[in-house]
Amino acid sequence: MRVYLDNAATTPLDKEVFEVMAPFMLEHYGNPSSIHAHGRQVRAALEGARKTVANLVNASPSEIFFTSGGTEADNLAIICTIRSLGLKHAITSPMEHHAVLHSLEVLEKNGEIELTLLRVNEQGELDLAHLEQTLASHPRTFVSVMHANNEVGNLNDISAIAEICRRFDAVLHSDTVQTMGHYTHDVQTFGANFLVGSAHKFHGPKGVGFIYVDSAIKIHPLIQGGSQERNMRGGTENVYGIIGLAKALEIAYRDMDGHHRHIQHLKDRMIARLRDQIEDVQFNGLSAQGDKSLYTVLNVSLPASDMNEMLLFNLDINKISASGGSACTSGVDLGSHVLRAMGADMNRGHVRFSFSKYNTEEEIDYAVATLAKLYQKETV
């Protein structure tokens, strides 16, 4: 048995999704920008996919733009908004995905903006008073706060953050890559001017995503070229990827309640069994606190041990795929920037387990038993 518990990194492609993609790989191969019948047929399917996505997030089709994934979508929102609107200040948190942090850091390094990082506590909760104070002295700024953290699963109250931003005429971007397809998103009530999705996070294909751009915000494109995506993104569209994205999101919304219950049950089961079988096990951030965290993610903190350095390797040897959430540069393990921002004890072992609709109780029990054995705690 090989156990896959790294679904926050990517999810398996749903067979139902592949079935709708296949004809656009083999039969419907026209360029959607072509005016002949082959092109028109594909254009109709592409625009149908756009309408599907727009309807699911309660947006206008004209506010949905397809991209290569979440990273491009984040970059588009950040770079294009700041430059198009002439914004000189940005606010984000030190726990954001690098697609956000690195984009803003480059703009700061180039002298285009002043960047403020929000304070966070040891559980990774954002200091919204700090946000309000900063906006009071820097109105009309750019704010980027993710909906849920990809490493520890903390959920942020984007609606509350959006209300603060509105009071100070700030533009709000939210990286919703980890929550898209797992929670419903209604752009009319969510409050962010931008949100993003990446198909491979909800059982769609890799290499395709989308961005919602509030029609009230007028920005220039990030990628220059042809007039595709209503002049917002040059380049021939990834048609079969877009078809797959729309179908995957449609399935996610259709089956969301059942999948939520199933996955939450697996997460709760793992929490209970880890507490029972491993002494001094802890959970990073709000990872184990029910509705305060993403139900697909559990970030486990294990006792200091010689085992920690080779933890992920040993899990892999035991046929368990999981993530440490760390970044490596030139072979040197720098550790997770998220855990460091929270002040976590980096001498402990940290592993992120992330679940999908395809995981089973048997897999959870095997993963816990394997961890317990590695930490020399007798299994129950």
Number of domains in the chain: 2
Within a domain: 239: yes
How far apart are alpha carbons 69 and 211 in whole angstroms?
Answer: 9
Within a domain: 380: no
Within a domain: 163: yes
* Other Cβ atoms closer than 10 A to 5: 23
Residue 128: partners with Cβ closer than 8 Å, 6 or more residues away: 160, 161, 164
Tell me what the mean pLDDT of segment 335-341 comes to: 92
What is the layout of strands, in order, in the sheet containing 209-213? Answer: 64-67, 209-213, 194-198, 171-174, 142-144, 89-92, 114-117
Tell me what the mean pLDDT of segment 320-325 comes to: 89
The answer on 100 and 169 residing in a single domain is yes
336 has pLDDT over 80: yes
203 has pLDDT over 80: yes
Within a domain: 50: yes
Q: Which of 310, 317, 328, 334 is catalytic?
A: 328
User: According to the model, what pLDDT value does residue 212 have?
Assistant: 98
Answer yes or no: are the C-beta atoms of 67 and 73 closer than 8 Å: yes
Place of tokens 């929490």: 271
182 has pLDDT over 60: yes
The distance of Cα 38 from the centroid of its chain, to the nearest Å, equals 35
**DSSP string for residues in 231-270:** HTB-S---HHHHHHHHHHHHHHHHTHHHHHHHHHHHHHHH
**pLDDT tens-digit map of 111-169:** 999 999 999 999 999 999 999 999 999 989 999 999 999 999 999 999 999 999 999 99
Within a domain: 197: yes
CATH number for the domain spanning 357: value is 3.90.1150.10
The answer on 210 and 73 residing in a single domain is yes
Annotation marks residue 328 as catalytic: yes
The answer on 246 and 113 residing in a single domain is yes
How far apart are alpha carbons 153 and 150 in whole angstroms?
Answer: 6
What is the overall mean pLDDT for the chain? 94
Tell me what the mean pLDDT of segment 28-51 comes to: 96
Could you give the 3-state DSSP secondary structure of residue 280?
A: coil
Place of tokens 């890559």: 177
293 has pLDDT over 90: yes
The answer on 194 and 47 residing in a single domain is yes
Tell me what the mean pLDDT of segment 336-362 comes to: 95
- The residue out of 231, 254, 277 marking a domain boundary is 254
User: According to the model, what pLDDT value does residue 375 have?
Assistant: 86
- The residue out of 213, 231, 254 marking a domain boundary is 254
- The residue out of 254, 270, 291 marking a domain boundary is 254
User: According to the model, what pLDDT value does residue 334 have?
Assistant: 59
The answer on 202 and 183 residing in a single domain is yes
CATH number for the domain spanning 121: value is 3.40.640.10
The answer on 192 and 68 residing in a single domain is yes
The answer on 291 and 186 residing in a single domain is no
Local confidence band at 306 (pLDDT 50, 70, 90 cut-offs) = confident
Beta bridge partners of 171: 142
327 has pLDDT over 70: no
> Max alpha carbon distance in the chain (Å)?
69
**DSSP string for residues in 193-223:** SEEEEEGGGTTS-SS-EEEEE-TT-----SB
The answer on 30 and 115 residing in a single domain is yes
Q: Say what percent of the chain tops pLDDT 70.
A: 96
User: According to the model, what pLDDT value does residue 328 have?
Assistant: 36
The answer on 320 and 175 residing in a single domain is no
**pLDDT tens-digit map of 241-284:** 999 999 999 999 999 999 999 999 999 999 999 999 999 999 99
Within a domain: 71: yes
Could you give the 3-state DSSP secondary structure of residue 154?
A: strand
Range of the structural domain that residue 317 is part of: 3-11+256-374
Point out the least confidently predicted range of 90-94, 202-206, 344-348, 356-360.
Answer: 344-348
The answer on 146 and 22 residing in a single domain is yes
331 has pLDDT over 80: no
Answer yes or no: are the C-beta atoms of 108 and 115 closer than 8 Å: yes
53 has pLDDT over 90: yes
Q: What pTM value is reported for the model?
A: 0.94
How far apart are alpha carbons 155 and 293 in whole angstroms?
Answer: 5
* Torsional sign, CA 339, 271, 196, 14: positive
Tell me what the mean pLDDT of segment 296-324 comes to: 93
Nearest to 234 by CA among 223, 220, 222, 243: 223
372 against 330, higher pLDDT: 372
Within a domain: 139: yes
